[in-house]
Amino acid sequence: GAGVSQSPSNKVTEKGKDVELRCDPISGHTALYWYRQSLGQGLEFLIYFQGNSAPDKSGLPSDRFSAERTGGSVSTLTIQRTQQEDSAVYLCASSSPTGGYSYNEQFFGPGTRLTVL
Amino acid sequence: AQSVTQLGSHVSVSEGALVLLRCNYSSSVPPYLFWYVQYPNQGLQLLLKYTSAATLVKGINGFEAEFKKSETSFHLTKPSAHMSDAAEYFCAVSAWGNNRLAFGKGNQVVVIP
């Protein structure tokens, strides 16, 4: 079946502009995660959705970052007034329902490479 | 909070030689531990995972890792490197009941013919 997809694959924007990054999880996966991969900071957790709710958004670096998920499926990560330090690869992952004693593997998308000029 | 340490950002290994990537973790609760591989311009692929069952874990592509609680380690090994093993490798940790992953800085593996 189809894996996690992300769009666009590359995004170049000017400082101060807003950007939206999209993630389509694997069908049936209720958990969805956003991570950021940058040269200076490595791979960092941003936010976690269970269904349409975000019980853990502690990794969002500032109030310029927000994310939503609708219909328990597609998620959008929005960065307002982009800064050069926002340049990174933004990765999305999804997994089947979590909880209890089991760990459910996170399947990663190919990422969106964001460049802020 | 959970964290992992990977030393040596770049690792060179000769084709056919042992691959050894070190990972040490810190966790206040029993951890789940993972190794992921990332090929250029691709997402992360799970190599193997430890979730409190057997301490020696076998993964894909001939890789394995051993969980050693006394050493807080989860080192990744492969007996014989292949050119296709050239990639970046990440160790990650999460806590039971929380799937949020904390990653190490990664090891860029170069395989020398």
d(CA B85, CA B59): 13
Mutation site, B99, B101, B103, interface A, largest A CB count within 10 A: B99
d(CA B5, CA A46): 20
d(CA A106, CA B100): 10
CA neighbor of B23 nearest in space, from B78, B82, B53, B67: B67
pLDDT of B98 > 80? The answer is: no
pLDDT single digits (tens) B9-32: 899 999 999 999 999 999 877 789
pLDDT single digits (tens) A43-70: 999 999 999 999 889 999 999 999 999 9
Q: What is the pLDDT of residue B95?
A: 76
CB contact under 8 A, A98 and B99: yes
Within 10 Å of residue B6's Cβ, how many Cβ atoms?
21
Of A33, A103, A111, the CB nearest to B49: A103
Q: Which residue of A has its CA nearest to B48?
A: A105
Q: Encoding tokens for residue A64?
A: 């310029």
Distance set, CA A106 to CA A51, B27, B109 (Å): 15, 20, 23
